[in-house]
Amino acid sequence: MVTEFLINFITLTAGLFVFAVGLGLLVLLVLYVVDVTQTRHAIRRNYPIIGRLRYVFEHLGAFFRQYFFAMEREELPFNREQRSWVYRAAKNVDTTVPFGSTRDLRPMGSLLFANTTFPTLDAEARPAAPVVIGPDTAHPFTATSFFNISAMSYGAISKPAVQALSNGAKKAGCWLNTGEGGLSQWHLEGGADLVFQIGTAKYGVRDGNGRLDDDKLRAVARHDTVRMFEIKLSQGAKPGKGGILPGAKVSDEIAGIRGIPAGQDSISPNRHPDIDDAGKLLDLVGRVRAVTGKPTGFKLVLGDPAWLDTLMAEIGRRGVAHAPDFITLDSADGGTGAAPMSLIDYVGLPIQESLPLLVDALADHGLRDRVKVVVSGKLINPAEVAWALCVGADFINSARGFMFALGCIQAMQCNRNTCPTGVTTHDPRLQKGLDPADKAARVAHYVKSVSKEVGIIAHSCGAAEPRHLRREHCRIVVAPGRSQGLDAVYGPPAGTAGVSLSGK
């Protein structure tokens, strides 16, 4: 009986093997015929079947470079050292490193902080002072955190991601920008301070014709946790191009929030149809502020520095009361789920150039105290945040830093529905891996770690708290073996007395 069983088993196995080989040969024959007869791909036509491996290796190459071949500080848009610091900070584990820095301090443009001989003692250190935005509005906003969550729309990121950010922001005491996709219950869930962004399509506050609806604006403003309103002119990765959310991601829920049909591509205009000059921009800022009673500003990527003079002149003509309460300056270094390469690579000024231009323009026109400066664009580690404070920013926003805190591995799948960590996908199977409660704690740890280490940099420079950092505290390499203080490179902002190196 055993022998008969073995004979039958071997016969069956052999039969299955022959069948599999035959099926495999048939598939190869079909692929061969397809490849030699098609005319779109020269490699496949000249090298049938084998030529297909090129596309496999091309796809896998990005992952092999990330994990095996790229050096710690080589990879873009964020290298392994940058990401690793965020991961450690978000997990609330040790962020110290051994033996010595792997950062090359010699290339032009490298930043160095000017430590003082007599640093601030722990007993003298203070937390960053709160800043009031829109003090003359009916509902001013006192912001306690200088590091906050930048705009990411529900739809572009998943429900559990928004839940984690909302709850994490509340734990950390920072604000969360809704992005242009409107206000969802998941934004409100955690009770965090929110900045409602009005994009070019005016999602969430639009009428049937896509125009701003004051009644819907008031309805959003009635939420106590909505602290400010931000009119988005442009964003870093694609200035001059509106947002695109594929129809596959526009569920009934997201369509209802945005005020658009479900299942259709959600395409924002490349600018606000009702804004085509500085005057109309100030008109809309004033209208939103009057309707909501809350601080209102705008977000842009700076391209033409001369436009700042046009804006400041218009504010001067109307009076300081007509100035925005804040300006969010995004950078050509900014990111998004999907953007044309021609825009993401070549359009807009990087933050290292545009931030001092904006700060100085406000100072030159006597508006520096009136208009707060929020800056975003690849500022995810403490040193970059400290640099922005030195130059003159009041607040720093980050989107991708918080995506890393949520578990993003830079898989470069944001423009598809295949994000392996559940951050930018609406596939329930993939979302399951992102636990909102766990990631909310990581978001809070990340904010607190950035704030703590920026404070360490400030104390090393002799400043009692992060907001006392000034341009003389940071230097930039301008030639081999030589650096200059930012105050020498950019000059001190006009009309500012500054703070001594001791921060007192």
pLDDT tens profile 227-279:
999 999 998 777 878 877 777 778 888 888 888 888 887 888 999 999 999 99
State residue 502's pLDDT score: 37
Say yes or no: 60 and 140 in one domain: no
Domain boundary among 21, 39, 69: 69
Answer yes or no: do 62 and 145 share one domain.
no
413 backbone dihedrals φ, ψ, rounded to 5°: -115, 15
Answer whether residue 114 is part of any domain. no
The predicted structure's pLDDT at residue 36? 84
Tell me: pLDDT of 412 over 90: no
| pLDDT above 50: residue 342 | yes
Report the pLDDT value the prediction gives residue 314, as an integer from 0 to 100: 97
- 205 and 301 together in one domain: yes
Distance, C-alpha 62 to centroid of its chain: 22
Task: Please say if the pLDDT value at position 337 is more than 80.
Answer: no
Over residues 411-420, mean pLDDT: 78
Condensed to tens digits (0 to 9), the pLDDT of residues 132-169 reads 999 999 999 999 999 999 999 998 889 999 999 999 99
Write down the pLDDT at residue 494. 60
Does residue 28 belong to any structural domain of this protein? yes
For the chain, give the percent of residues with pLDDT over 90.
59
Whether residues 54 and 148 fall in one domain: no
Q: What is the mean pLDDT of residues 105-118?
A: 93
Res 149: pLDDT: 97
Q: How many domains does the chain have?
A: 2
Flag whether pLDDT at 112 surpasses 60: yes
Residues 247 and 145 in one domain: yes
Print the domain residue range for 28: 2-69
Going by their DSSP bridges, the two strands 175-177 and 372-376 should be labelled as unpaired
Task: Please check whether residue 116 lies inside any domain of the structure.
Answer: no
Has residue 324 been placed in a domain? Answer: yes
| pLDDT tens-digit readout, 262-272 | 888 788 899 99
pLDDT tier, 125 (very low <50, low <70, confident <90, very high otherwise): very high
Both 260 and 374 in one domain: the answer is yes
Same-domain check for residues 141 and 44: no
pLDDT of residue 504: 37
Nearest Cα neighbor of 374 from 324, 434, 422, 414 is: 324
Question: 88, exposed or middle or buried, with CB in 10 Å at 0-12, 13-18, 19+?
Answer: middle
Q: Which segment of 104-108, 296-300, 308-312 scores lowest on mean pLDDT?
A: 104-108
Question: Is 301 a member of any domain?
Answer: yes
3-class DSSP string for 307-364: HHHHHHHHHHHHCHHHCCCEEEEECCCCCCCCCCHHHHHHCCCCHHHHHHHHHHHHHH
Indicate whether 96 belongs to any domain.
Answer: no
Q: Residue 68 corresponds to which amino acid?
A: F
pLDDT tens sequence across 43-79: 788 888 887 877 776 666 666 666 655 656 667 787 7
Both 460 and 349 in one domain: the answer is: yes
Whether 389 is covered by a domain: the verdict is yes
pLDDT tens for residues 446-498? 999 999 999 999 999 999 999 999 999 999 999 988 999 999 999 887 644 33
Distance CA 424, CA 160 (A): 10
Residues 315 and 168 in one domain: yes
Does 494 reside within a domain? Answer: no
| Same domain flag for 48 and 139 | no
Q: Which residues pair with 326 in a beta bridge?
A: 372
CATH number at residue 208: 3.20.20.70
